[in-house]
Amino acid sequence: MPYSRHAFVTVYIRVLLAAVPLLMLLTPALAESAKRDYKIGQAAEARNDAIAAYRAYKSASELKPGEIRYRIAFERVRTAAAEEYVKEGQGFATHGNLAPALAAYLKALDADPTNEMAESDARALELRLQQNTHTQASTAPSGSAENMPESPVDLDIPVAGPVTLHMLADSKVIYLTIGKLLGINVLFDPSSSSNRIQVDLSNVTPYQALNIVGKVSGTFWQPVTHNTIFVAQNTPAKRKEYSNQALEVFYVGNVSQASDFTGIQTALRNVFQSARIFGIESNDTIVMLGTPDELRLAKMLIASLDEPKPEVLVDVTVMEVSRDKMREIGLSPPTSLTVNSGSSQTLEQIGHTSAYSITIGQAAADFLLTDSNTQILQNPRLRALNGEQASLKLGERLPVATGSYTYATGSTSAAAETQFQYLDVGVNIDMTPQIHLDHTVTLKLGVDVSSENGTEDLEGVEEPIISQEKAQQIVRLKNGESTILAGLLKKEVSQTVSGWPGFGEIPFMKYLFTTQKHEVTSDELVFMITPHIIRSPQVDPLTMREIDTGTADMIQLREPPGQLNSSLAAKPKAASSQAASHP
């Protein structure tokens, strides 16, 4: 056994020693491969191929996870790649290619899991695929319902075929005749009266037949059991006495602020004036007590109003273009004169003396032209909900002293009290988006560019002098379209003349005795704004259709529950009515 262990250790060490050179060769290869993928991504990004750039940057960041620039490039193109995948999926879906469309939506979610447009389109496409294969997922609750109160009664008519009836008789007789045809029981209010009516029905649904008789006879019917209806006179008192009431709790899950929750409650109270509605803001729920028809209509209304708010991601590219031009031309004459006194000498040497000596500096001819152009690029991102303001602040906060005078009790002298407030200095952008159904975005932009431009002494306090430039703009852009906001320009022109006074005014000779210096400095801020819709407005075409809600006195849905639910699920429905009751 000791020999075997020694042999194993020996083999293991040999394998490690053999693997070390291989790893040393593999590491540079991986680095070169990552660098090559990064260059491929840059080329793809330059030609606006977001998907190819995303794939290349992803490969580079996976090969070298520690390289920050690879990771930044990968994160930068994720949103654009997801948008391209969504467009690709929408193109497949338009031509009926559902499976490739779903695959494209899933790729979009893999690139950007926060893309709500891809998520909603994928969910809708899955429902279409389920309908095409006739598969339906069960939504029944898993808990036991033995102790739960029963739901409102739904009328279950055994006969679903069309009804044809031509009669001139008492209204009760006609009700009983229709009941026999449909296989249901009919009960009457003992205090209700009947009258003789004539009905001519051809190929109508069972619910339409019952509702037409109720309209003509001035009565309404109410289900008592799944196969029994109760008929009474159609008056407000009888309605209040016999109409069924139901209670339901609605969860409002997409409200982002109190005003949204209050708005939904206000809409419900205005539509359902006879119902009792209570809102619990702490858990975003609404409790409603009303007729079953009112509850069904309220559920549709809440589902339409409680849609997730549209959301947009805005790329803000801040560029500062600085240009400095300086021209200096001319001769630089001497600006100093030095006089040196002679040394002490004898009288006979006077004839050979020099009274003073003059030293002249070396003249210089300058011709200098410099032109520098510098771009400082910042690329932050702002994510905002529809109608909500988002702010971007790039710079610093400067303290500014403010003061007030206070008078002590019983004193006539005022005491100064100093407070400090902070001002945002730099680049401040305020943005309010409005996302439209046609996948365009209206941006209300406010740009404030400020900087400290020295200080000023105000009663012993050094206060900063703030230079400020503001711009406001309202633009409407397509998804992914860019706009340029420019014109915030600061330009300084200075001209300096140095040399001998007076000689600089002589034409054609001023450059021999003076130096002319002309300098132009300009700083311009350019903003490039690009919106990317993350979540578009969700409008269900079924909620946009007209719904028959009965009369002004009573909300009564025409469809029976089964057909109403099927219409919400975009299934074929039979034309039926319930003009005077809740089926």
Instruction: Give 419-430 pLDDT, tens digit per residue.
Output: 778 888 888 889
* Same domain assignment for residues 319 and 422: yes
List, in sequence order, the alpha helices (H) in 47-115. Answer: 50-63, 68-94, 98-111
Is residue 54 in a domain? yes
372 with 322: CB under 8 angstroms? yes
Q: What is the pLDDT of residue 169?
A: 92
b (16+ CB within 10 A) / e for 46-57: eeebbbbbbbbb
Sign (positive/negative) of CA torsion 502, 505, 509, 512?
positive
Q: CA–CA separation, 335 vs 516, rounded Å?
A: 15
- Per-residue pLDDT band for 9 (boundaries 50, 70, 90) equals low
Q: What is the pLDDT of residue 13?
A: 60
Is the predicted pLDDT of residue 393 greater than 60, yes or no? Answer: yes
Least confident window among 202-206, 248-252, 328-332, 400-404? 328-332
Q: What is the pLDDT of residue 446?
A: 87
* Same domain assignment for residues 506 and 374: yes
Q: Report which listed range, 93-102, 316-325, 342-351, is most confident.
A: 93-102
Hey, what are 381's tokens? 């991102």
Q: Report which listed range, 71-80, 343-352, 522-531, is most confident.
A: 71-80
Strands 311-331 and 365-378: antiparallel
Q: Report which listed range, 242-246, 366-370, 565-569, is most confident.
A: 242-246
Q: What is the pLDDT of residue 175?
A: 93
In 10 A of CB 263, how many CB atoms? 13
Is residue 158 in a domain? no
Distance of CA 263 to the CA centre of its chain: 21
* Same domain assignment for residues 461 and 325: yes
Nearest one of 137, 143, 219, 213 to 181, comparing CA atoms: 213
Q: CA–CA separation, 535 vs 185, rounded Å?
A: 52
Is the predicted pLDDT of residue 574 greater than 60, yes or no? Answer: no
Phi then psi dihedrals of residue 465, to 5 deg: -95, 120
Is residue 518 in a domain? yes
- In this prediction, residues 204-208 reach a mean pLDDT of 87
Q: CA–CA separation, 501 vs 513, rounded Å?
A: 9
**Contacts (Cβ under 8 Å, ≥6 apart) of 277:** 265, 268, 269, 286, 287, 288, 289
- Report the percent of the chain where pLDDT is more than 90: 14
What is the number of structural domains in the chain? 4
Q: CA–CA separation, 522 vs 323, rounded Å?
A: 5
Is the predicted pLDDT of residue 453 greater than 50, yes or no? Answer: yes
* Same domain assignment for residues 441 and 381: yes
* Same domain assignment for residues 389 and 521: yes
Q: Higher pLDDT residue, 384 or 413?
A: 384
Q: CA–CA separation, 464 vs 396, rounded Å?
A: 13
- In this prediction, residues 175-201 reach a mean pLDDT of 91
Give the helix/strand (H/E) hosting 159.
none
54 with 78: CB under 8 angstroms? yes
Is the predicted pLDDT of residue 177 greater than 90, yes or no? Answer: yes
Last residue of a domain, one of 130, 145, 174: 130
Sign (positive/negative) of CA torsion 555, 557, 561, 567?
negative
Q: How far is CA 440 from CA 114, 240, 351, 470, 481, in A?
A: 19, 49, 99, 26, 9
Is the predicted pLDDT of residue 339 greater than 70, yes or no? Answer: no
- In this prediction, residues 330-352 reach a mean pLDDT of 48
Q: Which amino acid is at 269?
A: R
What Rg, from alpha-carbon coordinates, does the chain have? 42
State the residue range of the domain holding 256: 246-307+538-555
Strands 483-499 and 514-535: antiparallel
* Same domain assignment for residues 123 and 111: yes
Q: CA–CA separation, 230 vs 172, rounded Å?
A: 11
Is residue 460 in a domain? yes
Q: Higher pLDDT residue, 483 or 413?
A: 483
Q: What is the pLDDT of residue 467?
A: 78
Is residue 388 in a domain? yes
- In this prediction, residues 199-219 reach a mean pLDDT of 90
β-sheet bridge partners, residue 230: 187, 222
Is the predicted pLDDT of residue 569 greater than 80, yes or no? Answer: no
Is the predicted pLDDT of residue 348 greater than 60, yes or no? Answer: no
Is residue 67 in a domain? yes
Q: What is the pLDDT of residue 158?
A: 81
What's the burial of 223, exposed, middle or buried (CB within 10 Å: 0-12/13-18/19+)?
buried
* Same domain assignment for residues 16 and 119: yes
Half-sphere exposure of 191 (CA within 13 A, CB side): 7
Q: Which amino acid is at 85?
A: Y
* Same domain assignment for residues 426 and 331: yes
Q: What is the pLDDT of residue 46?
A: 85
- Per-residue pLDDT band for 437 (boundaries 50, 70, 90) equals confident
81 with 53: CB under 8 angstroms? yes
Q: Where are the beta strands (DSSP E) in 332-413?
A: 339-341, 356-358, 365-378, 381-385, 390-407
Q: What is the mean pLDDT of the chain?
A: 74
Tell me the helices (H) and strands (E) count for the chain, helix number first: 12, 19
Q: Which amino acid is at 233?
A: Q
* Same domain assignment for residues 447 and 465: yes
Is residue 522 in a domain? yes
Q: CA–CA separation, 547 vs 505, rounded Å?
A: 90
Q: What is the pLDDT of residue 434?
A: 92
Q: Higher pLDDT residue, 65 or 224?
A: 224
* Same domain assignment for residues 192 and 235: yes
β-sheet bridge partners, residue 518: 327, 495
b (16+ CB within 10 A) / e for 421-438: eeeebebbbebbbebeee
User: pLDDT (tens digit, 9 = 90+) per residue, 499-510?
Assistant: 666 655 666 666
Q: What is the CATH number of the domain that holds 282?
A: 3.30.1370
Q: CA–CA separation, 246 vs 290, rounded Å?
A: 6
- Per-residue pLDDT band for 349 (boundaries 50, 70, 90) equals very low
Q: What is the pLDDT of residue 411?
A: 60
Q: Which amino acid is at 335?
A: T
* Same domain assignment for residues 543 and 499: no
- In this prediction, residues 68-96 reach a mean pLDDT of 85
Phi then psi dihedrals of residue 69, to 5 deg: -65, -35
Is the predicted pLDDT of residue 271 greater than 80, yes or no? Answer: yes
- Per-residue pLDDT band for 166 (boundaries 50, 70, 90) equals very high
* Same domain assignment for residues 528 and 467: yes
Q: What is the pLDDT of residue 216?
A: 92
Is the predicted pLDDT of residue 161 greater than 80, yes or no? Answer: no
Is residue 152 in a domain? no
